[in-house]
Structure 1
Amino acid sequence: MEELLTREDAAGVATLTLNRPERLNPLSDAMLDALQDALDALAADTAMRAVVLRGAGRAFCAGHDLREMSAARQAPDGGAEAFRALFAKCSKVMTSITRLPQPVIAQVQGLAAAAGCQLVATCDMAVAGQEARFGVNGVNIGLFCSTPMVALTRNIPAKHAFEMLTTGAFIDAARARELGLVNRVVPEAELGAAAQDLAASVAGKLATAVRIGKRAFYEQAEMGLRQAYAHTGEVMALNMMDDDTAEGIAAFLEKRPARWQG
């Protein structure tokens, strides 16, 4: 049996691939475990400076594994404990992505539905193929996408998020870009290269600065204005004390390439 999740490293970029294409890469219990293990390993891997997350086959991710969830109903409690554990596990994976030191770029082809759309919204950036579709469509089967809503409402305007959540309608890649769910839309044949190019651009920057910046990005978003400025001012002051930052500024002023030790 092939691995549920594969990892390939090249030039400071780790590419993670959800690898159950025959089922449209659902976020089963096992897939979530594999993702969590990969994220934990990446958090400690200073050689990797960016991450691309993609799905094998014709879809990015169809969301939770409904067959697995239905089977859980056979438990004496009707599945209540299993459902709580599943959503807690999924929430931990999503939180781990935002806390990962490296920026994570979703490479989206085909379908990104329900928790799959949540995964796109959780990633720091996203590149989509022109044929990609996005939806939080659980309401169509009587299950409101409450946990996907957390990431979605932090990406796109509230009224548009609410419409998607309550109608279950899908949006195309162009609309997803208009709303801010994805950064770039490219022809399908160029999708992999576009995601890797964006990752390479990030990986080419001073890693310590990007790591400091990503952490502060999410921290300040949860603060009031004054607290956010106080916090980020302290973050920038600490960043300025880094030897490689001093070298980067000196190189800019002297009009030469930086010699980062990093």
Structure 2
Amino acid sequence: MSDILLQERQAGIARLTLNDPKTRNSLSEAMMAELVVALDDLRRDDTARVIVIAAEGPAFCSGHNLKEITAHRQDDDRGAAYFTKLMAQCATLMQGIVHHPLPVIAEIQAVASAAGCQLVASCDLAIAAEPVRFATPGVNIGLFCSTPMVALSRNVTAKHAMEMLLTGDLIDAEDARRIGLINRIVPSQFLRQSVDELAAKIASKSKAVTKIGKEAFYRQREMTLPDAYDYAARVMVENLLIRDAEEGIGAFVDKRPPEWQDR
């Protein structure tokens, strides 16, 4: 098990904890590689039902490792090949979260900036501690946060996203909740408890149903309204035919708890 990414499993909840405080949990090559492998492994873990991405230290995630980036400016191509590889690796990670069959919750204990903000926006749900702040500050160092923009603009309104991207200013947790970047804010001492309670609630549902629902959510929102309804109708029919829908509806009618078989 890696020292920079801690892993924990308990009652269907898989917790991945960024643990590289000396770099403020930057998305270094190594960190992104560890996350991609861990997420892939969880696709094949029958016991996992929800994923939590958390962090230790003074930052949730500070974004890309600028020291790694700077080092490759000495390459013959001034880093072009390395930068291309790095951005592709980041895109693979973020899309791996969005397209993962399990719901993913971000547990944000400290500041999330640049690609760290992108990581938060890529998760399905996000809970932050009260003092947490968020930023896409690349513009301040001559590097517009173009890849964080992809996730950010799919979570918040265009004008709020542009304000964050153009100013690079930090916003507090209340503003992040107001514009839709996070779901809720809790006192720091209750952060893990609140995330665990939310994760446990989701883990109590049919795994087959949450998988169908998550995939459908992200696919339909990129479609036109008529195409989205046609697609969602087909998904509903597919969902109605699975065993857990039959069991869930039957349990509701019979006024008893459902017994999920995740199929």
The normalised TM-score by structure 2 is 0.98
CA distance in 1, matches of 2:223, 2:124: 19
Partner of 1:179: 179
Could you list the per-position Cα deviations for residues 116-148 of structure 1 after superposition, in whole angstroms to 9, with x for gaps in the alignment? Answer: 000000000000000100000011101000000
Matched, 1:133 2:161: no
Gaps of 5+ in 1: none
Q: CA RMSD in A?
A: 1.0
Could you tell me how far 1:260 is from its partner in structure 2? 2.1
Letter aligned with residue 224 of structure 1: T
Gaps of 5+ in 2: none
Cα deviations across residues 27-58 of structure 1 (Å, max 9, x unaligned)? Answer: 00111100110111111222111010011112
Q: Specify the alignment match of 2:198 in structure 1.
A: 198
- The CA distance in 2 between the partners of 1:46 and 1:180, in whole Å, is 32
Cα deviations by residue, 1:217-258 (Å, 9 ceiling, x for unpaired): 001011111111111111110111111210110110111111
CA distance in 2, matches of 1:202, 1:218: 18
Structure 1 counterpart of 2:228, which letter?
A
Contact 2:206 2:261 in 1 (8 A): no
The 3-state SS of whatever aligns with 1:60 is: strand
- Structure 1, 111-120 or 15-24: larger mean CA deviation: 15-24
Partner secondary structure for residue 260 of structure 1 = coil
Is residue 70 of structure 1 aligned with residue 67 of structure 2?
no
2: CA distance between counterparts of 1:49 and 1:153? 28
Aligned twin of 2:42: 42
Secondary structure, aligned partner of 2:51: strand
1:53 aligns with 2:53: yes
Q: What CA distance in whole angstroms lies between the structure 1 residues aligned with 2:52 and 2:58?
A: 17
Distance in 2, matches of 1:47 and 1:218, equals 24
Contact 2:97 2:104 in 1 (8 A): yes
Aligned to 2:257: 257
Q: Distance in 2 between matches of 1:2 and 1:154?
A: 32
**Cα pair 2:108 2:132 within 8 Å, conserved:** yes
Partner amino acid, structure 2, of 1:245: A
Deviations 1:77-124 (A, max 9, x none): 000110011011001100000010000000001110000000000000
Cross-structure match for 1:220: 220
Match of 1:234 in 2: 234
Q: For residues 66 and 260 of structure 2, what CA distance do their matches in structure 1 show?
A: 49
Q: What are the within-5 Å matches in structure 2 for residues 60-99 of structure 1? A: 60-99=60-99
Alpha-carbon distance, 1:2 to partner: 5.9
Matched, 1:164 2:164: yes
Rounded Cα–Cα distance in structure 1 between residues aligned with 2:73 and 2:55: 28
CA displacement at 1:168 relative to structure 2: 0.4
CA distance in 1, matches of 2:31, 2:97: 15
Instruction: After superposition, give the CA deviation of every residue in 1:150-198 in whole Å (9 maximum; x if it has no partner).
Output: 0000001101110110110010001100000000100010111111111
Q: Secondary structure at the match of 1:112?
A: strand
Give the whole-Å Cα distance in 1 for the aligned partners of 2:80 and 2:243.
52
CA distance in 1, matches of 2:42, 2:221: 24
Query: Which stretch of structure 1 is more off in the superposition, 49-58 or 1-10?
Result: 1-10
**Structure 1 residue matching 2:61: 3-state secondary structure:** coil
Q: Which residue of 1 aligns with 2:152?
A: 152
Query: Using the alignment, how far apart are the partners of 1:201 and 1:58 within structure 2?
Result: 29
Q: Is the 8 A contact 2:117 2:136 kept in 1?
A: yes
CA distance in 2, matches of 1:92, 1:190: 32
2: CA distance, partners of 1:54 / 1:163: 27
- Within 2, Cα distance between the matches of 1:38 and 1:195? 20
- Pairwise CA distance, 1:4: 1.5
Give the letter for the 1:231 counterpart. Answer: Y
The CA deviation at 1:259 is 2.0
Secondary structure at 2:126's aligned position in 1? strand
- Quote the Cα distance in structure 1 between the aligned partners of 2:54 and 2:255: 38
Q: Counterpart in 2 of 1:26?
A: 26
